Amino acid sequence: METDRETITVPRDHPGVPHLGPPSRRRLLTGIKSMDRFLGGFAPGQVTLLRGLHHAPTLLPRLLVLAVLDRGEDVVLVDGGNVADPFSLSAICRRLRVRPRDVLPRVHIARAFTSFQMSSILEDALPAAVEEHSPGVLAITCVDELYHDDNVGRDQATVLLGRALDRVREVTEREGLVTLLADLRLRPRKSMDRFSALLDARAHEAVTLERRSRRSLRLRRRDGRTAVLASPPPGQLSLDEFEVTGIWNGGTPSPLEGMEEGASVPTRRWRFG
């Protein structure tokens, strides 16, 4: 509750106290210094559209694991492409030297197999899940995949998806969630894809990953800024991965601390990690 002079924090679970707004949260970081310097982390209360994640298949599992480890919060994962894999989460845990059993129970997964199921989960079940688990991060994979259905009319599919995305944005802003719309499709998205404009309009930020070569990855933000990151060979650990709590440890201030909202970051070539 905000006043002219001070901010008073009221516990969300206090009996008889109505919901007064989202809790204070910090940005979600990838734990990869070069990527975090360019993106500035993922802001709470915002929906970020991530395209081309099949070029970096471990990035989303890494973010989910770090959400639990760094922030101490649960995660809600809505899977629209049958791609949620507990084994990939376990692999990230082992690379970060933590036990999977300490992380996996805090990742709550819901799967949809039709567009109507996806709409039902996002419009009806999501608010209840957020209330029950109090997550800090919401991830939705292949959010529009099920709406490309010959059995559902184009206009109907557009209305269903738009309504579901509206609810996601509403819950994100109200609860202060870090929400990731993860596009994991292997086939390239056409510029005239019928749902591209819909997804862009509902997202606060959009980041596209493009594989330039076997050893480099290009990141492109909505405002046109780009960065090329050199990635280590598959299976090779970077120094960051020895830091269990992400890109900083031991009470050392975050490298992004003090960064102003929307601060400009110059385009350059960085080492991936």
Question: Residue 32's pLDDT is what?
Answer: 85
- Alpha-carbon distance of 60 to 224, in angstroms, equals 22
Q: Residue 165 belongs to a domain with what CATH number? A: 3.40.50.300
The answer on pLDDT for 258 being more than 80 is no
- Alpha-carbon distance of 26 to 35, in angstroms, equals 17
- Alpha-carbon distance of 196 to 51, in angstroms, equals 11
Read off the amino acid at residue 184: L
What H or E segment, with its residue span, contains residue 182?
strand 178-182
Question: Residue 236's pLDDT is what?
Answer: 53
pLDDT digits (tens, 9 = 90+) for 116-151: 999 999 999 999 999 999 999 999 999 999 998 888
Q: What is the mean pLDDT of residues 218-234?
A: 82
Q: Tell me the C-alpha to C-alpha distance, in Å, between residue 1 and each of 9, 19, 173, 222.
A: 6, 10, 16, 33
Q: Is 235 within the bounds of a domain?
A: yes
Q: Collapsing DSSP states into helix, strand and coil, what is residue 138?
A: strand
Sorted by sequence, the CB contacts under 8 Å of residue 14 that are 6+ apart come out as none
Q: Is 227 within the bounds of a domain?
A: yes
* Percentage of residues in the chain having pLDDT higher than 70: 73
Contact 49, 199 (CB under 8 A): yes
Contact 269, 213 (CB under 8 A): no
Question: Residue 269's pLDDT is what?
Answer: 38
Q: Is 191 within the bounds of a domain?
A: yes
Q: Is 149 within the bounds of a domain?
A: yes
What is the count of structural domains for the chain? 1
The answer on pLDDT for 4 being more than 60 is no
Read off the amino acid at residue 125: A
Q: Is 116 within the bounds of a domain?
A: yes
pLDDT digits (tens, 9 = 90+) for 181-215: 998 765 555 545 778 889 999 999 999 998 877 77
What DSSP state is assigned to residue 173?
H
Range of the domain at 262: 33-271
Under the banding of pLDDT at 50, 70 and 90, the label for residue 254 is very low
The answer on pLDDT for 260 being more than 70 is no
| Residue 247 or residue 34, greater confidence | 34
Composition of the chain by helix, strand, coil, percent to 5:
35, 20, 45
Question: Residue 12's pLDDT is what?
Answer: 44
Between 47-61, 136-150, 234-248, the lowest mean confidence (pLDDT) is in: 234-248
Contact 143, 165 (CB under 8 A): yes
Contact 255, 36 (CB under 8 A): yes
The answer on pLDDT for 101 being more than 80 is yes
pLDDT digits (tens, 9 = 90+) for 14-46: 444 444 455 667 899 998 888 899 999 999 999
Task: Record the pTM.
Answer: 0.76
Crossing angle for the helix pair 86-95 and 59-71, nearest 10 degrees? 60
Contact 210, 225 (CB under 8 A): no
- Alpha-carbon distance of 40 to 262, in angstroms, equals 9
Question: Residue 70's pLDDT is what?
Answer: 84
Q: Supply φ then ψ for residue 217, to 5 degrees.
A: -135, 130
Under the banding of pLDDT at 50, 70 and 90, the label for residue 229 is confident
Q: Is 22 within the bounds of a domain?
A: no
Question: Residue 156's pLDDT is what?
Answer: 93
Q: How does DSSP assign 208-266, residue by residue? A: EEEEEETTEEEEEETTS-EEEEEPPPTTPPPGGGG-TTTT--TTPPPTTTTPPTT----
